[in-house]
Amino acid sequence: MPVSSIKKIKPSKPFPTFPLTAHPNGQWCKKVRGTVRFFGVWTDPQSALEEYNRQAADLHAGRVPKLRFSEKPTVKDVANGYLAAQKAKAERGLISPHWFDDCTRTLKDFAAEVGKDRPWDDLRPEDFAQYRLSLYDRYGTCTIDRYITVIRGAFKHGFDTELMDQPMKFGGQFNKPSKKEQRISRTERERENGKRLFEPRQIRQLLEVASQPLRAMILLGINGGFGNTDCAELRQSAVNLKRGIIDYPRPKTAVQRVVPLWPETVKALHEVLDGDRPRAKVPENESLVFLTTHGNPWKQSLLHSTGDAMSPKVRRVEAISAEFAKVLDELKMDRKGLGFYALRHTFRTWADEVSDQHAIHLIMGHAIPGMSGVYVERVDTKRMRAVVDHVRKRLFSRR
């Protein structure tokens, strides 16, 4: 009989109250909080029981078990501990799924660069300095800022949760890009690609070509500085079309946001909400203003693969960005740096001409800075209306 056809005979439990079960793969296991965990081989049930008892309290409480004192936590252990905590936050809506994805990609990249199985205390400041330099070959200052934030956060979490016995020493070179670096990067980017700004004529063309619901999103972008996520996460409860206003705490900042709507925006939102609207695939998304034709949130990521099978390259493109890019391409406006979010830049630039910063902050969903944010209890809606009316005049003026 071929060896492959011989089935292993699972052993019986050593005693009736033995908490583990023999798994076909040759190990003792137990399902804890919906996940099958393994603790040792069939031939050594006592060691498997000891390992289970060591981890049991943490596993049943939903915590990551501590490593044995004889074990050195690795870069992978630190990253996984942090990602487990971030995943729990994402599941409770405390952080966005996209931020969790960013954290995962960042730490995978870092671990691959320095060695995922390397003990955490083997890392030296020069490792972090070298990695930071390598980022400049691939990314701009905003992405580098995010990478450093995530990596520093992971090692801080490792120390705070006692996975590491001392804080990580990053050295003096693993800091976020300075204001000077950011200005230089922005100047070079603008010299190469132009400013992230639309002309009034261009936005009018976008509105003529775009179909619903993208047209309504474009109007929100220039009417009130709405970005991709702002549109994708907008709930119907925040929109009062009778009063012609959007009033809600912006999810990203938890700051109250008040946006008086133009007649054009009100009409477009009526068309979206009162028309042949797709049914949400998931019940909790039914309250969203915007849904794709498949009933998904517009924040859903679309994965585009390029390259060959040996070296695939995958980039994430948000649904709104992808649809907006099609319209830009149709109008031959497509250029690097000019995407949907440039509408928010354009709104803020035109709104600044009104010189009512507190009103602009409220429309944008930004906290009023300084002590004014503590003492200013209310900003009259008329002031926000004056700001958006000025932007509307800029957009539709044919001068």
User: Please, which residues have CB within 8 angstroms of residue 391's CB and are 6 or more apart in sequence?
Assistant: 222, 223, 347, 350, 351
| Distance set, CA 148 to CA 30, 102, 280, 344, 370 (Å) | 38, 12, 37, 26, 27
Residues 23-50: pLDDT tens digits? 999 999 999 999 999 999 999 999 999 9
The pLDDT of residue 251 is 74
The pLDDT of residue 49 is 96
Residue found under tokens 């002309």: 199
Band (312; pLDDT cuts 50, 70, 90): very low
Classified by CATH at the fold level, domain 200-396 comes out as: hpI Integrase; Chain A (1.10.443)
Separation between Cα atoms, residue 251 and residue 94, nearest integer Å:
10
Residue of 141, 389, 157 lying closest to 259 (CA atoms):
389
Q: Which one has a higher pLDDT value, 254 or 233?
A: 233
Band (220; pLDDT cuts 50, 70, 90): very high
Separation between Cα atoms, residue 25 and residue 18, nearest integer Å:
19
Residue type, 360: I
Task: Identify whether the C-beta of residue 170 lies closer than 8 Å to the C-beta of residue 125.
Answer: yes
Task: Identify whether the C-beta of residue 89 lies closer than 8 Å to the C-beta of residue 98.
Answer: no
pTM of the shown model: 0.64
On the question of pLDDT at 367 being above 50, the answer is yes
On the question of pLDDT at 368 being above 90, the answer is no
Range scoring the smallest mean pLDDT among 171-175, 201-205, 213-217, 373-377: 373-377
Band (111; pLDDT cuts 50, 70, 90): very high
On the question of pLDDT at 142 being above 90, the answer is no
Mean pLDDT of 277-289: 90
Mean pLDDT of 223-231: 93
Q: Are strands 245-249 and 239-240 parallel, antiparallel or unpaired?
A: antiparallel
Q: Same CATH topology for 75-193 and 200-396?
A: no
The pLDDT of residue 6 is 52
Q: Which one has a higher pLDDT value, 173 or 238?
A: 238
Task: Identify whether the C-beta of residue 216 lies closer than 8 Å to the C-beta of residue 241.
Answer: no
State the sign of the Cα–Cα–Cα–Cα dihedral 114, 119, 123, 128: positive
3-state secondary structure the chain: CCHHHCCCCCCCCCCCCCCCEECCCCEEEEEECCEEEEEEECCCHHHHHHHHHHHHHHHHCCCCCCCCCCCCCEHHHHHHHHHHHHHHHHHCCCCCHHHHHHHHHHHHHHHHHHCCCCEHHHCCHHHHHHHHHHHHCCCCHHHHHHHHHHHHHHHHHHHHCCCCCCCCCCCCCCCCCCHHHHHHHHHHHHHHHCCCCCCHHHHHHHHHHCCCCHHHHHHHHHHHCCCHHHHHHCEHHHEECCCCEEEEECCCCCCEEEEECCHHHHHHHHHHHHCCCCCCCCHHHCCECCECCCCCECCCEEEEEECCCCCCEEEEEEHHHHHHHHHHHHCCCCCCCCCCCHHHHHHHHHHHHHCCHHHHHHHHCCCCCCCHHHHCCCCCHHHHHHHHHHHHHHHHCCC
The pLDDT of residue 291 is 92
Band (70; pLDDT cuts 50, 70, 90): very low
Task: Identify whether the C-beta of residue 239 lies closer than 8 Å to the C-beta of residue 246.
Answer: yes
**If you average pLDDT over every residue of the chain, what do you get?**
86
Band (136; pLDDT cuts 50, 70, 90): confident
State the sign of the Cα–Cα–Cα–Cα dihedral 356, 362, 364, 370: positive
Tell me the CATH class for 75-193: mainly alpha
The pLDDT of residue 222 is 97
Count other C-beta atoms under 10 Å from residue 151's C-beta: 26
Peptide bond into 213 cis (omega under 30): yes
The pLDDT of residue 370 is 82
Residue found under tokens 């930071």: 132
Residue of 334, 341, 326, 386 lying closest to 360 (CA atoms):
386
For the chain, the structural domain boundaries read: 3-60, 75-193, 200-396
Query: What's the angle, vertex CA 78, arms to CA 29 and CA 36, rounded to 5?
Result: 15
The pLDDT of residue 7 is 61
